[in-house]
Each structure stands twice: as structure tokens, then as C-alpha cells.
Amino acid sequence: MATSRAAGRALDFLESGKNLAGSACGLVGVGLTLTGVAGAYWPAVVAGLYAAGALVAPPERVAPPVPPEPEEELRFVRQDFARLREYVAEVDLPGEPAGILAGLLELYAGMLEPGWVAGVLATEPEAVHALTRAIRTDVPECVDTYHRTRWWTRLAPGGEAPERHLVRQLSLLHEEAERLTADLRETEVRRQQTHTTYLEGRRES
């Protein structure tokens, strides 16, 4: 494995712009040697010209990372959502936050439904980002911090019940999910209206 990596790096260097520029300048040194200009110092002349060519050659351009397409990103989000469902299925939540969480997961599942539904979602990068953030970070953080706080509350009773914060957090995420679904619905409404306008214009033409 190490040998193949070393061979790959060596091949990359041989094909690099710096090596090609250095080799071109080195050939000039060889030409000077053949014409007798370099004299007895021809090895130093050839090496020097090669080094000079390699130094002045522009650095290799490293291609920036390409972000995944929305459709590809949704595939990863579905995998994360499946893991989230497995996680929350193992936790014990009081009745009210459990009900809010169940409704929230239903909204997420609806938006991630494979087919034309996810196709609409994929056209809205901001919605994909918001959904990804909620599934990967927000919901797990809500549940995890609730359980941690509840554990400490049992040791030192008093203060605000952790259930209140959990209900508020999940309610805010539910409202966000409802806004996302409303925005996606509005996208389809505009599409329908655009098609109506197109058909009306075609009739009048």
C-alpha cells in the first residue's frame, strides 16, 4: 500500500508543471553542453537550469471541493433521519413533548419522501440546509440536553422543569418545519399558476 502511494506521488510529480518546466530548462543546459558553452561545469549548468525552471513554474492548481448536489445531499439526509428515528425510539419522553416530536418527525418524513416530493425539496437549497441542520443537530441536541438536565434535576430538585424547555424547543422546530412545508407548497402553487398563464397566453396567440 505504501509502495503504491509512493509510486503514485512519483508519477504525479513527473506529470507536474514544475517538472515539465524544469526539464525544458534542463534540455537547454544539455544543448549548451553539446555546443561547448557549459564546459566542464555542464552538470551544474544543467541542474541549475532545471531548478530555475521548476522554481519559476506556476504552482499546481488544486481543485476546490465540489459540494454535493441537492438530490445527493437528500440521500445522506434520509440516512441520518433513519438513525434519528432509531435514536428517539429508544428514549423515554413525557406525553406532551413526545407528541410534538412525533408530529415533527412526520413532517420531516413527508418532505423526504422519495419521488416528486423530494424533487421539489431538492430545488430549494435553503430548505435542504434547514432540514439537514434540524435532523443532524437540532433534534438530537434537544433530546440529549433534556435527558442530561433531567438527570441532574433528580439529584438536585427545584428550578424550572426540563420538560418546559423541551416542549418549547420542539415547538419551535415544528413551526420551522411547517414554514418549510408551506414554502414548498407555495413553490408548487407558483408552478401551477405559471402553467395556467402559459396556457392562457397560448390560447390568445
Condensed to tens digits (0 to 9), the pLDDT of residues 56-66 reads: 555 566 656 65
Residue 85 and residue 50 share a domain? no
Residue 40 and residue 98 share a domain? no
Does residue 45 sit within a domain? yes
The arithmetic mean of pLDDT across residues 158-170, rounded, is 87
Last residue in a domain, options 56, 82, 101: 56
* Centroid of chain to Cα 113: 20
Q: Which pLDDT tens digit goes with each residue over 5-27?
A: 555 455 555 455 555 555 666 56
Assess whether pLDDT exceeds 60 at residue 34.
Answer: no
- For residue 136, give every residue at least 6 positions away whose Cβ sits within 8 Å of its Cβ, in sequence order, or none: 77, 80
Assess whether pLDDT exceeds 90 at residue 67.
Answer: no
Would you state the pLDDT for residue 39? 57
Higher-pLDDT residue of 178 and 201 is 178
Residue 188 and residue 87 share a domain? yes
Residue 128 and residue 80 share a domain? yes
- For residue 159, give every residue at least 6 positions away whose Cβ sits within 8 Å of its Cβ, in sequence order, or none: 153
Does residue 61 sit within a domain? no
Q: Which pLDDT tens digit goes with each residue over 106-162?
A: 999 999 988 888 888 888 888 889 999 999 999 999 999 998 888 887 777 777 788
Give the cell for residue 144.
440529549
Higher-pLDDT residue of 154 and 168 is 168
Q: State the Cα–Cα distance between residues 98 and 105, nearest whole angstrom.
A: 11
47: nearest Cα among 28, 75, 67, 66? 28
Within the chain, residue ranges assigned H as helices are 2-14, 17-34, 42-56, 70-89, 95-111, 116-122, 125-133, 139-155, 162-204
Residue 91 and residue 14 share a domain? no
Q: State the Cα–Cα distance between residues 24 and 51, nearest whole angstrom.
A: 11
Residue 93 and residue 193 share a domain? yes
Hey, what amino acid is at 205?
S
Q: Which residues span the domain enclosing 47?
A: 2-56
Does residue 65 sit within a domain? no
C-alpha distances in angstroms, 114 versus 19, 135, 162, 168? 50, 17, 36, 30
Does residue 200 sit within a domain? yes
Q: How many domains are there within the chain?
A: 2
Would you state the pLDDT for residue 19? 56
Percentage of the chain beyond pLDDT 70 is: 65
Residue 160 and residue 110 share a domain? yes
Assess whether pLDDT exceeds 90 at residue 80.
Answer: yes
Q: State the Cα–Cα distance between residues 59 and 63, nearest whole angstrom.
A: 12
Last residue in a domain, options 17, 32, 56: 56
Residue 141 and residue 114 share a domain? yes
Buried b (16+ CB within 10 A) or exposed e, 53-80: bbeebeeeeeeeeeeeebeebbeebbee
| First-last CA distance in the chain | 69
Query: Please, are residues 60 and 17 in contact by the beta-carbon 8 Å criterion?
Result: yes
Does residue 178 sit within a domain? yes
Q: Which pLDDT tens digit goes with each residue over 179-196?
A: 999 988 888 888 888 888
Residue 79 and residue 37 share a domain? no
Average pLDDT, the chain: 78
- Taking phi first (over 0 means left), then psi (-120 to 50 degrees means alpha), and beta for anything else, what does residue 39 get? left
